[in-house]
Amino acid sequence: MEENHSVAIVGDNPEALLLSVLYAEAGISNYLVGPFGDDGRTHANRPGLDEALWLLGIFKKSGKIRITPDYHRLPLSQVRTLILTTHVSSAEQTNAFEIILRNLAPGLAIGTSIAFAGLCKPRYTSSIVKSTIEKHGGLKIGVDMNLYYIPLFWAGEKIREFKEKRKVLAGFDGALSTAFQEELLRVFPTLSLTPTVEVAEASGLYSAVSREVARALELELARMSEAHGVNYDEVLELCRDSRISLTERSNPILERESIGTSIALSSSQRRNGPRLVRAAHSINEEYQSQIVDMIRRALSHCGYPFRRSRVAILGTDGLLKNPWSKPESLPIIESLRKRGARTSLYPGETGSQPWAQMVGDHARVESSLLRAVAKANCTVIALPKSSATELDPDQLAAEMNRPGAICDLTRVLEASNVEKAGLFYTTIGRGTFNT
């Protein structure tokens, strides 16, 4: 199997990349069809994607993974497992996916196992995926080939965590090929089977929606903490020792956060739709404005107006719209520019060159962290926790203007250490000032 590359994975999202390297790691060679070459895409310093890209380079050299930029070039007659990954969260994505389905269907060989992996509304797999393959391929699902659904979603975790999360597999009419199950169990240690595709679709969608609702609740509680002068981090610490439980803290990937709710809202009428889901989606859309408001208040606390203040941004964690995208400027940079702030950006270990092209003259991009914070009135920290060793509060204080402020989005610094260095420390939910 491995030598013949009988597995093909098609998709332009992180799930396709992660599946491909995990298959290769399990000893199963595969074709990876998607934008995973040197095309200038960014990946937001996310440990899961960083590691997956590193493994991709290794498996490309060994021949375990063959990148095929165009699905028309797939040798479908040799492919025995075809995995199609996408999230049908917008009309554009839905149309693109259905075009791929229509084009691939005529070339599928009898006996192929097809898996649709991603998030969708219930009955999408049967009404669109199954019917499109049968109509354009001329083959019958359950007779000539098998079709499965896997509610696969990457929420920003490391590759090991993604692998070890329980996966769900559903087949039509309860038909689940033993061979395909065994193949998946080589890749993922835990696999749950369900005979109903619609139940699996709903489970994946509802899980993603619940994360965004929980995230919205967290943001609302953080706002309440700020309004009452309470430190939300201290509230969370107390809740961990009591019967009250709040959501796990995480740094959001903005576009990924909204995938589930976008699907849920698109499949319901506004009047009778899920009101809590709609409210959560709206609250999370305001995350960027919360960051900008936090910066404004931090500058004001130090006696600076927004206009002409120097703001340094370290890292991009939680600031990109899409962790796997063509280069685009950070929304926060545009927001700061409109308010007259002068911005510098240290993107982290990804390097400065693609970012310099992205942001243009809207910000100064530095390859050195200390150069980025030089003379800054406020430093916004958006580096992942794995990069915490790069940060020294005393060094930051020595380079920044005084008084200076630290806005720690990813909570990688201890507030007490920052304050000992003579800087003002804040983060979302830290209600220690009113301006």
* Phi-psi map region of 179: left, alpha, beta (phi>0 left; psi -120 to 50 alpha): alpha
Domain spans of the chain, in order of start: 7-203, 294-435
Beta-carbon-side half-sphere exposure of residue 196 (alpha carbons within 13 Å): 7
Residue 248 pLDDT exceeds 50: no
CATH architecture of 294-435: 3-Layer(aba) Sandwich (3.40)
Would the CATH topology of 7-203 be identical to that of 294-435? yes
Give dist(CA 60, CA 68) in Å, integer: 11
pLDDT for residue 2 = 42
Looking up tokens 């033993």 gives: 178
Say which residue, 209 or 378, is predicted with more confidence.
378
pTM for the structure as a whole: 0.77
Report, as an integer, the average pLDDT of 203-208. Answer: 90
Peptide bond between residue 327 and the one before it cis (omega within 30 degrees of 0): no
Over the stretch 152-189, which tens digit does the pLDDT of each residue have? 999 888 899 999 999 999 998 766 778 899 999 999 99
Lowest mean pLDDT among 24-28, 219-223, 266-270, 354-358: 266-270
Q: Say how far apart CA 207 and CA 202 lie, in whole Å.
A: 8
Residue 38 pLDDT class (50, 70, 90 cuts): low
Q: For residue 379, what are its two tokens? A: 């430093």
Please check whether the domain covering 7-203 is classified as CATH 3.40.50.720.
yes
